Amino acid sequence: MKAGLRAARDAKNFELIHLLFPQSLQHQHPSFQDVRDAVQANDPFTRRYLFESSGPPPSPATLDNLLSLIPSLMEACMTGSVTLFDDVWRFVRGAFQGSPALLESLGPRIDRALRLCTEGDLTPLMMVLTELWNDIETGHIAIANHPMVLAASCGHLPAVRLWLAQGIPAQWALPAALKHDHREVVSCLIAHGAGLSNVSSSEKQRSQ
């Protein structure tokens, strides 16, 4: 079922996604992993089938939820979509509604940052989340799973620039930017040292 859902997402087929998504859930409501899968797929229909149709998330907060909280918010931030981030943030708050202390300090900071964001530039949120991300990130994350790669695939240039400023290698994100034809991001990455020698010929053609 999940393989079919991935194919439907790749094809941007909303009707098929809407049909398959409920069948792919392990529980009655979406989990943190379901949310992360949808965000990572950069699915333009996420709001319609995931947040408008599926109801509230499960509660109480579990250890798995705790480990997914910051990555889920960071990945939503990488899309550059204010609306999608707000949806994920509401999902997170719903999942932790029985444990308000968990969000006591984080919640107000995110709410303030969210009010300063504009569509296509979630820099204020990223500045809040990066501090938390650096606290939990162990250094063993696979390159393909780094948030900058998702930001590049979504064309979220301000986020890419902030990761570059933190010393993340530009080469990591170049294939994703080329694949999704985000030329401004490609130019930025090349200007920061990324090279075309390590990408496929088809990806090179997209940069021309």
Instruction: Quote the number of domains for the chain.
Output: 1
Is 199 among the domain residues?
Answer: yes
- Give the separation between CA 37 and CA 43, rounded to whole angstroms: 9
Is 205 among the domain residues?
Answer: yes
Is 66 among the domain residues?
Answer: no
Query: Can you list the residues of the chain whose pLDDT is less than 50?
Result: 60, 63
pLDDT of residue 102: 67
Contacts of 134 (CB under 8 A, 6+ apart): none
Contact 167, 145 (CB under 8 A): no
pLDDT of residue 60: 47
Is 17 among the domain residues?
Answer: no
120: alpha, beta or left? (left if phi > 0; alpha if psi -120 to 50)? left
pLDDT of residue 184: 96
Is 176 among the domain residues?
Answer: yes
Is 163 among the domain residues?
Answer: yes
pLDDT of residue 207: 53
Can you give the residue range of the structural domain that contains 158? 142-208
Question: In sequence order, what are the beta bridge partners of 121?
Answer: 118
Place of tokens 């390159």: 143
Is 20 among the domain residues?
Answer: no
- Give the separation between CA 183 and CA 17, rounded to whole angstroms: 29
- Give the separation between CA 199 and CA 174, rounded to whole angstroms: 8
Is 169 among the domain residues?
Answer: yes
The answer to whether the Cα torsion of 94, 129, 192, 146 is positive or negative is negative
